[in-house]
Structure 1
Amino acid sequence: MKGVIRRRNHFCPTLLLFILFSFHASRFAFSADTLLATQSLTTNQTLLSSSQVFELGFFASGNSKNWYLGIWYKDIPSRTYVWVANRDTPLTNSSGILKISNQTIVLLDEGNNLIWSSNQTKASNPVMQLLDTGNLVLREANESNQYLWQSFDYPTDTLLPDMKLGWDLNKGLDRYISSWRSTDDPATGDFSFKLEYRGFPEIFLWNDEQKEYRSGPWNGQRFSGVPEMKPTDNLSFDFVTNKDEVFYSFHISTKSLYSRLTVTSSGQLERYTWIPDTQVWNSFWYAPKDQCDNFMECGPYGICDSNASPVCECMRGFQPKNPQAWNLRDGSDGCVRKTDLQCMSDKFLRLKNMKLPESSTSSVDIKMSLKDCELLCLRNCSCTAYANSNISNGGTGCVIWVNELSDMRQYAEGGQDLYVRLAASDIGNDRNVGALIIGIAVGIAVLLLGLGCCFIYKRKKLLSVCKEERAIQERSQDLLLNEVVISSKRDYSAEKDKDELELPSFDFVTISTATHNFSDEKMLGQGGFGRVYKGRLVEGQEVAVKRLSKTSGQGIEEFKNEVRLIARLQHRNLVRLLGCCIEMDEKMLIYEYMENRSLDSVLFNKAKSSLLNWPRRFNIICGIARGLLYLHQDSRFRIIHRDLKASNILLDGEWNPKISDFGMARIFGGDQTEASTRRVVGTYGYMSPEYAMDGVFSMKSDVFSFGVLVLEIVSGNKNRGFYHSNSELNLLGHAWRLWKEGKGLDLLDTSVGNSFSSSEVLRCLQVGLLCVQERAEDRPTMASVVLMLSSETATMPQPKTPGYCLGRNPFETDSSSGKNDESFTVNQVTVTMLDAR
């Protein structure tokens, strides 16, 4: 009996330890990807997909005390969340419980109150499983491929491979992605990317109830508004439309490659791919990326072309509906027909490389030929245009439009043919036109031959005289304008003559009237080359007028340079030049008026700086970055600004930033990386060391100036310029010291208040310090900067010592910048002129 008792005494503790260990293991870890109906998941536990690609668990976002249930990539160091269950109903603490109850997935708080749940199902033995695709599913235990509910049907801000964006028409289920409210708040934000299945299906980016961007309809190969959308060995696209569903998806053939499509809290669509070698998310594609991506930029029947200047034009047979606004580069009213249609006698104008018009009210027949499509459109007097619905294999199918054509765009390559209905008189008979041209050419051939020799002789003589005069005039300058023109002609041989301004020209009387005869009450500020006035044109539009001083011997070349450059630049974060006036010895530039003036007039004004809360500051930083990226990479020219500073950043009525003042800008050729000059221009505190000391400038010079701007925006303090060896006296040194001490948040301007994202502030601080590193080759490109600012998960290197430059103290009375060293007014465009060292 004693022996038995001993054995039992020995056995019981072992059994107890086994039971406790089993309970502990089930309580604090799940090595599998599946949760049974008898189990639950708490905030200190996670589910792992079978290949450990994705992880599901609880998380707290930023400094918030709220907790969420979400899915993220397991092996990516900085968490990238791809789905959030309770994004709009957070847990108030970490005591959450996830389990299956009544055939439904439920999330409960510590008081067993329901926080979130999936749809009700009729499962008899349900299990919850996290798949390697990132899909959380509820299914029967013995049916692995039949899902009763899945998270892929209820996306948040991210579209993953093989995930459907679009409609299940049988269930009335609309699957779309919507942004986080901010980078730290997963609640539903303002922006969403939704598929419109009616008509010819396409996808829209919405800002609340307003359309911001349109993909264009699927044409069998890609969305017609995304010409760069091309399959690769690893990436393919799929678009399905039938009576049961209409959806878009993409597929990754390599399991080790991660890719995702996200709509950001700032309203940007971004496709990212993960690069293991660099441990960063690479921005593979984004939209909207230029002015023509803005929805209805050129209005009904207007065509937007980002390679044209201005970007809006009316097609043949149409004219601007509002000529005054059109001449001021506001094409939103669109175009109207010159000649009324006559139905059966009408003809069709073929437009190539087009983004098809908005298609929600169009009609589609996938079996009809293009010729039959033309006949169908011709017989329907309401039909305004037609096109192939599928451009693969030479083109098939028919789509016709019966309403006005809107949001059209023309590409240099890509897009597809669109046939627009016009009155026969607006098209004419091409054969007769051709014969007429030939006849005229033959008729005047003799005359041309006779005049040719005389013309050539006189032209050579005139060019010789002009060449001598131009050489005398430009020898005293930095040959800035010549370099601009040479670069333009080298890269774009089709550009107009260099003396053609390509801008609306205003007469002096109009501008004088608009500014009350340039009265002091209308003066906004005074720059290095003249004054800036606020004006109101006859039609009511407010403008800013930059008037070159007659007595100034400087600025003529800068004036010409700015006109020729900015006339070709189109981006939401660049100031828009409306026209110019060259009359009566006057030289003036007319800009759009910025209601909130220049950044420095608010940022460095203690009475106004509180208007710039953190979301506005972060938006300003990101906007400047996107504008600078456009100049460096995405515009038709590679442009170095050379004078980026707070006074050259203008703020519109919604506090969106716009880069201004291109008088000092330089164009680089396609393979050019840097240049040097003996004429160093810029402003103390913003110039990179290699530029200020040696006259060497490049894209990295602008990156340095941007970094200074970032630190100024974060701190609300102005960088006090280049001092002697005591680097601690300026903003860069102060920021660097706080960063090294782990006190980065101490740099934040106190006027921001308490409503800010710590992670965003620290990210901006790190980006700013990376941009102002001493060695130009250590500084990131603007493409990398935009990625680092827009992604919480991008891995950023640690910054090195900032670049300090030995130079004069700007408080010295003989500062080479003179009295115009600092600028502080709206649309003010001052430039600091320095002697070469």
Structure 2
Amino acid sequence: MELFEKIGGLPATLLFLFFIFSSGVSPSIGGDILTPAQPLTDGQELISAGERFILGFFSPIKTNNRYIGIWYKVSPPTVVWVANRQHPISDHNGSLSITANGTLIIINQNSKIIWSSGSSGLANPVAQLLDDGNFIVKEANILGSLTWQSFDYPSDTLLPGMKLGWNLTSGLNRNITSWTSPSDPASGLYTGAMDLHGNPQLILWEGSSQLWRTGSWNGKTLTGIPDILHYKIFLLEFVINNDEVFCMYHTTNTSLIARLTVNYTGICQRSVWLDDSKMWISYLSEPKDPCDYMSQCGVYGVCNMDDSPMCSCLKGFKPRSPTNWDLRDWRDGCMRMTELDCRNGTDGFVTMKNIKLPDTSRSTVDRSMELNECRAMCLRNCSCTAYASADINGTGCIIWTTELIDIRVFSFGGQDLNVRLAAIDLGLGLHHSHSRTMVGILVGSVLGILLFASVGICIWIHRRRRTGAVPFASHRNNECEEGKEWELPSFDLGTIIAATNNFSIENKLGQGGFGPVYKGKLGEEQEIAIKRLSKTSAQGTDEFMNEMTLIAKLQHRNLIRLLGCCTQREERTLVYEYMPNKSLDTFLFDKDKAVLLDWQTRYNIIEGIAQGLLYLHRDSRLRIIHRDLKASNILLDKDMNPKISDFGLARIFREDETALNTRRVVGTYGYMSPEYAMDGVFSVKSDVFSFGVLVLEIISGKKNRGVSISEYKGNLLAHAWSLWMEGNGLELVDESISNSISMVEAINCIKLGLLCVQESPKDRPTMSSVVLMLGNRNTSLPDPKRPGFFPTRARPEVESSKSKTDSASINEFSITTVEGR
């Protein structure tokens, strides 16, 4: 990995000298060979014959711990292997030596062996650093006498020519494991390993959970990484025989410096070194999008990033839980519409194109079988659910006899998957077509009768209402009745009074532009939050109705859930799920509470808000602009997951509308986009601007407004832009989380925030692009343009829904950083 990460504007030469000083570098002990007669002490190095690699002691950033490592001889140096990653030396008195029997050992300051390679049983052993980065133990001056090699024990990096996988004879399993953090090369949470179950495939593990898989080898590539075929400078090799199962890669140009790493954030990256620009370029990262993560859509579900929503069911299948499916919770997956009929032999297959084949650890493989034989075998096996070719040329057979899981569709590449269905779900045969037609006629007839009856009833109700003779309307003559179309429950005023102890001050959570918010309880267990429209509120009945009708139609894990309403007598209340951690601003802008929002929590909050906005802008039944996105309108549940709230000012957009103009500018100054605040023009890009402000506030722990000009050079956006242009972007990060941040992620988030607050709406990304940027944490982002600046003093015609102080809405050596690669 790169030892040093560029932060700020220090010259590369100065930074490199810093590395030499901090690492205690001194002259080599004599080329690339280590002998029993001369150990390698701290400050000495081995340099490979072609001067591509160096072996010696180094210290990661922010620690004095010493490790034996191998790094690419580039500037900045890039560590690719660590020996004593679990057992650091605390001072500069360690040494590496090879014993008379060929055992490599590392000794600490107390002359205690802290790492050993194991005995090699050689008569005249030497250790040599090769020009491919491999450190080997062999008999001196005898070719082919290798008994130990570092290539068999990777750290977090796979170099060209290294094997990732199993030696089935010796039982050796070569895998790569991330560093714990940039300052700790100990084995981290993420491991890339070969899975031998079924048809072998590489899997990225997060602890004991599967995070991502490459898909199986199809003779040409791995089915889950079709993009790799575009990169002609790399040759991928996959070997499956009785002795070994492994994957490796080579470069077509042997002078090319390349690496594949699993970094501490769980991203598998393929990178190449550009000598002209002195930097690593990542050309492929996995997982790269939500569909790459394991089983996003459950069993028999299909993930497609070109669709919205991204999950759908295979043909002949339907959601197992329609309600959860509508809520974008796809974990339950799908189920068959019609059970298979193996006994009568009427089942058939539907062929899906450009597919990442389902998890092959659940499959069986016969590499000698033809595809037509594979089909016949699947039909004979009543448990068979699907089949596919083991080789892209049409030979070999993969059969699944369990539920199909982790399927995705690519726009190119992938393979054909043949899914077994009941004949009726394929539309096969005259009998089945006739039966389906008859069912269709019957259902259509019944629906027609019901529709006719419904029209008649509606006419009757209308006439009765005109005469005041509809009994059930007499005691519920309120706006909540209009929510019946969306199945929004209407609460009795007595229930609300009892739940809030008659709106007692002890139950009050806070005050917003809408009015006071109270905590309540329905029955013995269900906690609720109740927004009560104040008679003096700037937001009136229109906003109340707007929020009620909009939220009733919206269902997403990152949007607050409306449970019902009450509009009896003069009361207008909305009942929401209760958010125990209240709103984001109660943590973010409080120095004591801000420490509870560590970097990972803040990143998760940013991602959640982005997902919620994407749903509003693109994925919901309505196309909605929120218009009042701010920290106090982001509520946090018990696990600190964010939920967007307060839709009183939201507006619905038609599909053909891109922007609207209003004379009545509403929202909160400081979060408004310039075109909206000044000209009343709003669009989805207005929400993107507000999101960008929120991102910068979440990173800094500071408000965009309410700060002195001398401290922030105008406002937070101006301050962030100034730091960014000076190359000091990380100075923006809240001091309370400076020890927990990922510098790469923080820099990318600051850059993303600045992209969102660019002055011109057309320059700002869409929320779909934002979600993709956040999903691929190591993606390269474009450079932002100047933010939209405008005076911090509100114009008279701008209405603000600014909350009071106690508001509670319903809930990466370019510098000196060492990273394990």
Is the alpha carbon distance of 1:746 and 1:371 closer, same or farther for their aligned partners in structure 2, counting shifts above 3 Å?
closer
The amino acid of 1:296's aligned partner reads S
Q: How does 1:420-431 map to 2 (within 5 A)?
A: 420-429=419-428
1:65 aligns with 2:64: yes
Query: How big is the shift at 1:687?
Result: 5.7
Which residue does the alignment assign to 1:96?
94
Distance 2:113 2:438 in 1: 84
1:493-547: per-residue Cα shift (whole Å, max 9, x none)? xxxxxxxxxxx9840228999x979966999877768999999999x99999999
Q: Is the 8 A contact 2:378 2:386 kept in 1?
A: yes
Query: How big is the shift at 1:258?
Result: 3.8
Distance 1:536 1:411 in 2: 48
Which residue does the alignment assign to 1:348?
348
The amino acid of 2:597's aligned partner reads L
Which residue does the alignment assign to 2:358?
357
Which residue does the alignment assign to 1:194?
193
Query: How big is the shift at 1:61?
Result: 1.8
The amino acid of 1:350's aligned partner reads V
Which residue does the alignment assign to 1:305?
304
Of 708, 718, 724 in structure 1, the residue corresponding to residue 703 of structure 2 is: 718
1:319-368: per-residue Cα shift (whole Å, max 9, x none)? 43344433433232233334443325342322413322222131111121
Is the alpha carbon distance of 1:697 and 1:95 closer, same or farther for their aligned partners in structure 2, counting shifts above 3 Å?
farther
Q: Is the 8 A contact 1:343 1:378 kept in 2?
A: yes
Query: How big is the shift at 1:194?
Result: 1.9
Which residue does the alignment assign to 1:220?
219
Query: How big is the shift at 1:240?
Result: 1.5
Distance 1:67 1:314 in 2: 53
Which residue does the alignment assign to 2:153?
154
Is the alpha carbon distance of 1:688 and 1:318 closer, same or farther for their aligned partners in structure 2, counting shifts above 3 Å?
closer
Query: How big is the shift at 1:419?
Result: 1.9
SS in 1 for 2:374: helix
Query: How big is the shift at 1:701?
Result: 8.8
Q: Is the 8 A contact 1:576 1:591 kept in 2?
A: no
Is the alpha carbon distance of 1:359 and 1:132 closer, same or farther for their aligned partners in structure 2, counting shifts above 3 Å?
same
The amino acid of 2:78's aligned partner reads T
Q: Is the 8 A contact 2:693 2:757 kept in 1?
A: no
1:209-235: per-residue Cα shift (whole Å, max 9, x none)? 122223322222333233433242212
1:242 aligns with 2:241: yes
Which residue does the alignment assign to 2:379?
378
Segment of structure 1 superposing worse, 647-656 or 767-776: 767-776
Query: How big is the shift at 1:381?
Result: 2.1
1:710-748: per-residue Cα shift (whole Å, max 9, x none)? 654454332325877885475567778999999999876
Distance 1:681 1:277 in 2: 52
Distance 2:132 2:527 in 1: 53
Q: Is the 8 A contact 1:103 1:123 kept in 2?
A: yes
Of 507, 518, 521 in structure 1, the residue corresponding to residue 487 of structure 2 is: 507
Q: Is the 8 A contact 2:45 2:54 kept in 1?
A: yes
Query: How big is the shift at 1:388?
Result: 0.8
Distance 2:497 2:152 in 1: 63
Distance 2:498 2:565 in 1: 16
Which residue does the alignment assign to 1:458?
none
Which residue does the alignment assign to 1:272?
271
SS in 1 for 2:228: coil
The amino acid of 1:367's aligned partner reads S
Query: How big is the shift at 1:253?
Result: 1.9
1:569-592: per-residue Cα shift (whole Å, max 9, x none)? x9xxx836989999999x999999
Segment of structure 1 superposing worse, 316-325 or 184-193: 316-325
The amino acid of 1:240's aligned partner reads V
Q: Is the 8 A contact 1:511 1:535 kept in 2?
A: no
Which residue does the alignment assign to 1:388?
389
Distance 1:697 1:276 in 2: 46
1:608 aligns with 2:606: no
RCO higher in structure (CA 8 A, sep ≥6): 2
Q: Is the 8 A contact 2:760 2:788 kept in 1?
A: no
Distance 1:518 1:256 in 2: 77
Query: How big is the shift at 1:196?
Result: 0.6
Is the alpha carbon distance of 1:426 and 1:632 closer, same or farther for their aligned partners in structure 2, counting shifts above 3 Å?
closer
The amino acid of 2:245's aligned partner reads V
Q: Is the 8 A contact 2:587 2:594 kept in 1?
A: yes
Segment of structure 1 superposing worse, 322-331 or 741-750: 741-750
Distance 2:526 2:421 in 1: 33
Query: How big is the shift at 1:372?
Result: 0.3
Which residue does the alignment assign to 1:82?
80
Q: Is the 8 A contact 1:292 1:304 kept in 2?
A: yes
Distance 1:665 1:716 in 2: 29
Segment of structure 1 superposing worse, 718-727 or 622-631: 622-631
Query: How big is the shift at 1:236?
Result: 2.9
SS in 1 for 2:418: strand
Which residue does the alignment assign to 2:814?
none
1:138 aligns with 2:132: no
The amino acid of 2:82's aligned partner reads V
Distance 2:275 2:617 in 1: 26
Segment of structure 1 superposing worse, 605-614 or 754-763: 754-763
Is the alpha carbon distance of 1:711 and 1:579 closer, same or farther for their aligned partners in structure 2, counting shifts above 3 Å?
closer
Query: How big is the shift at 1:90?
Result: 1.1
Q: How does 1:734-753 map to 2 (within 5 A)?
A: 751-752=736-737
Distance 1:37 1:628 in 2: 64
Distance 1:554 1:388 in 2: 58
Is the alpha carbon distance of 1:664 and 1:192 closer, same or farther for their aligned partners in structure 2, counting shifts above 3 Å?
farther
Is the alpha carbon distance of 1:784 and 1:58 closer, same or farther for their aligned partners in structure 2, counting shifts above 3 Å?
farther
Query: How big is the shift at 1:290?
Result: 3.7
Distance 1:735 1:65 in 2: 33
Q: Is the 8 A contact 1:352 1:415 kept in 2?
A: no
1:44 aligns with 2:43: yes
TM-score (norm 1): 0.69
Distance 1:219 1:228 in 2: 14
Q: Is the 8 A contact 2:70 2:82 kept in 1?
A: yes
Is the alpha carbon distance of 1:748 and 1:402 closer, same or farther for their aligned partners in structure 2, counting shifts above 3 Å?
closer
Residue segments in structure 1 that go unaligned for 5+ positions in a row = 1-24, 441-503, 829-837
Distance 1:646 1:47 in 2: 54
Query: How big is the shift at 1:428?
Result: 4.1
SS in 2 for 1:508: coil
Is the alpha carbon distance of 1:531 and 1:223 closer, same or farther for their aligned partners in structure 2, counting shifts above 3 Å?
farther
User: What count of residue pairs does the alignment treat as equivalent?
Assistant: 724
Is the alpha carbon distance of 1:355 and 1:115 closer, same or farther for their aligned partners in structure 2, counting shifts above 3 Å?
same
Q: Is the 8 A contact 2:161 2:250 kept in 1?
A: yes
Distance 1:796 1:328 in 2: 33
Q: How does 1:676-715 map to 2 (within 5 A)?
A: 683-686=668-671, 709=694, 712-715=697-700
SS in 1 for 2:368: coil
* Identity percentage of aligned residues: 45
TM-score (norm 2): 0.70
Query: How big is the shift at 1:824?
Result: 5.3
